[in-house]
Structure 1
């Protein structure tokens, strides 16, 4: 019995659940979707919160450009290109027998500087927000001061009294570890056993303490959270519930609007924007989706994309039980090559905030993720990690017209030997 209902009762109430439990690909469309103008005013977060986050990132831009030379060209703004896809449509058509109606773009967060994934948005932002709070409280800086001073030894010595802690399947840990270590914080990352070895090795090379758990993401988060209780010098970055992380991701919507305008791509309810967001616990895609609804309203449709073995957000949204249930409750194993999406229980904070704003979600098999990985390399010369391909099959899964954007999660920092294994696996499946 799960929440006093038998599996048969669950399946009768939610017919798609049977296919999910058999690891079949499913599309769930949200029948609770309501107009953005009706929902947004009553939420606890709004446009001003996103604008405040963007302003903080601009204050830190001179510091970012100073300590991370790869961001100099963009003046310390951490942003990724919007790239039109021109050949992958043929592969999707062969795979799904579906013609893609409209232009198709990849938001290449795999190319985000510093940590090479979507987590460079939220993870780095939360570390910067915490550092700014400490520096302001200590009188080391004022909001109109020269933020390049954050690279000074005085700041690093002050931050070295504090420890940043988080639980991660990999990419969030990388972003927090790299940024936190650069500022001078002690950093402890609790990693689930599905996290890739190269990510753990990279963190250790930066002086970050990595604690490995022979369990999944939820255990790593729980251990990290428990470690900071009662310690005023420890700061836990909570991928499941952090509003700061969430707003760091949401800034992406403002940046995307500017990119679309620069390309003369008009978005309206007649030509909607359809965005496909790979989803683990939900913080990153949830923050981006929230920002997009604030910026574009009803002219954007946001869909979460998940592995068939770890469809926690689809399960939570479809049933309305959010974090009260997990995929493991229904016999699903939460084992997937898409390590960043290997999460069994969704964020209740994100699920509840977006339950009337998200257009739907769909699942993708690991086999199709690997096939698309090889096809994306062959057809578009773009290298992605398996998690990042979940959004690419969105237009074929959802079958809507308009402008399509698959949001990439990571790939640029994958060691070549590891990537070649991914590529070979994909080629062998095609």
Structure 2
């Protein structure tokens, strides 16, 4: 934690107040414990962010006494979660009427869930039917156009089907299996290559001296001795944009379908009545118990394949909820909805939040409905702690840091917002 403070302190001027705050933070773990120290770290960040870089001229190096309004943080020697307190109304003459009811955090969370996170059944049904119809049309085209390529059966995926983070029926993933012969291809961990990233893998062509180039139908997408995710995506992108008669398919389905030409992703935009649906196509390889997506990082090796834990994430969360009738899925949907709609937090939505829930499930066993508010607030505290460290380890592979692609400025902004939300969760539940 002291190292985190020193790194972020490089961006700040070395003033007397900064030294005091750094000394306080360095000893925070001993007094406050892990959670309290994590919150104090973000509080320190908040103070430094609003502190002026130079004192006003003419003040002899001293700023006015009222120039800084530091966030308030109440702590005790035994760290406890900050609970929502409803202040009493001012004294008024007694009248014969019911007293005003101040909603608890539990009630506010449940109200937010029912008001903002429930997708109308008819909308979801129409979106899914559209996606399935497009899936069928695309499958028929690929079998007709590329009969030599052993694509598997296309299938739908994403939150609209699995229910862990949907705000509207507006996005679906379309998974295109790439079937490889295990005797001709093998996996190379990304951490063993120049990228040193355990979340990415290489798919290497093997035994070329015995099974020469051309033996596998996927050899045409090789770069060097590796199956190139970029080369496969480029071929599919050309097909989506130039080879498929989307106006005719759209007319058949009573909709308007456009491939997104400028996007690096394989994406279709669909309009049907009042529904606007985005469909993203992902080539996927399943080998050696790994699920790999043709989604290479920008600016790096084009042959990389991203390991996906989505299926395992959904399965594990639902398995845990089924075992204790828990509210992990409800809590996760609320937090996903909050982060996705908040400009400072949208990069936290999806997979990172699921892994935080899974980590917390290993430590906190009470996920009954009446504990929803406690778990929600605890998740905020956990997120503050992970952001303070700049590291969120994957639940399924601790070597993977799910924050590795976030900028330091983004981490600071997210931490500052969540620090405030720890003591005032309603900040996240306000209507956008």
**TM norm structure 2:** 0.26
Q: When you count helix as a share of all residues, which structure comes out higher?
A: 1
**TM norm structure 1:** 0.26
Choose between structure 1 and 2 for higher RCO, CA contacts under 8 A separated by at least 6 residues: 1
